[in-house]
Chains A and B, each alone.
Chain A
């Protein structure tokens, strides 16, 4: 039973446009949410996080939005660049550790 769900396996956007990756969760005890980026043949790398006391966190081109009532979070990338093409994983944790991951969304940014 997946507690973290990414319902879109893939997303394709044009360079310079916005990429929006979505994530839903079922466990109301989750209080930390993270996004990871993964290139082929590499481990996932941490991108951005948000705690449940916030509804938005921004880091350069990356912004994560959290809607606790809907148990939904999203990652916005503006503007998208070809180097952003990767698989993005959403993850959630009910305490400081022990994360659960979604299935991932493959983002392709076309030049």
Chain B
């Protein structure tokens, strides 16, 4: 069974802290994505990666960076956490040729609270 695992379910961090959100997939997928989910706004794309060492900005990359050193792992970094980054963060992965039949596989999410 395919799996996307996000390291933390809940996180509470202080304003100004550097925060790492980790995501690992065991499906050998090329593509990985980070979204945040906020009420009334749905899922918004932060960053994505089509291959190791590659990254591309999504719609709301400001205040975030990413790292993809290995195919299975995609990390989201909040360089200096702020209260407006309090949100649910969702990681996803996909395989190009299976996209239309299976879409993305999502992790369970990390609810981050910045105080």
A residues with CB within 8 A of B: 2, 4, 6, 9, 32, 34, 36, 41-46, 49, 51, 89, 91, 93, 96-104
B residues with CB within 8 A of A: 4, 31, 33, 35, 40-45, 48, 50, 58-59, 90, 92, 94, 96, 99-109
**What separation, in Å, do the CA atoms of A10 and B84 have in the docked complex?**
25
Do the beta carbons of B94 and A51 come within 8 Å of each other? no
Do the beta carbons of B94 and A97 come within 8 Å of each other? yes
Contact of A43 among B45, B59, B102, B107 (CB under 8 A): B107
Do the beta carbons of B103 and A103 come within 8 Å of each other? no
Do the beta carbons of B94 and A102 come within 8 Å of each other? no
**What separation, in Å, do the CA atoms of A42 and B32 have in the docked complex?**
18
A sample of 19 cross-chain residue pairs with beta-carbon separation below 8 angstroms, ordered by A number, consists of A9-B40, A36-B103, A43-B90, A43-B92, A43-B106, A43-B108, A43-B109, A44-B90, A45-B106, A46-B102, A49-B101, A49-B103, A96-B100, A98-B58, A100-B45, A101-B35, A101-B42, A101-B43, A103-B40
Do the beta carbons of A51 and B103 come within 8 Å of each other? no
Do the beta carbons of B48 and A98 come within 8 Å of each other? yes
Contact of B96 among A2, A9, A43, A96 (CB under 8 A): A96
Q: Chain A residues near B109: list those with CB within 8 A.
A: 41-43
Q: Chain A residues near B48: list those with CB within 8 A.
A: 97-98
**What separation, in Å, do the CA atoms of A43 and B33 have in the docked complex?**
13
Please name the 6 residue pairs, one residue from A and one from B, whose CB atoms are nearest each other, closest first.
Answer: A43-B106, A46-B103, A103-B42, A101-B43, A101-B42, A96-B99
Q: Smallest CB–CB gap between B115 and chain A, Å?
A: 21
Q: Smallest CB–CB gap between B112 and chain A, Å?
A: 14
Given contacts A36-B103, A44-B90, 17 further A-B contacts (CB under 8 A): A41-B108, A41-B109, A42-B108, A43-B90, A43-B106, A45-B106, A49-B103, A51-B100, A89-B43, A96-B96, A96-B99, A97-B96, A97-B99, A98-B58, A101-B43, A103-B40, A103-B42
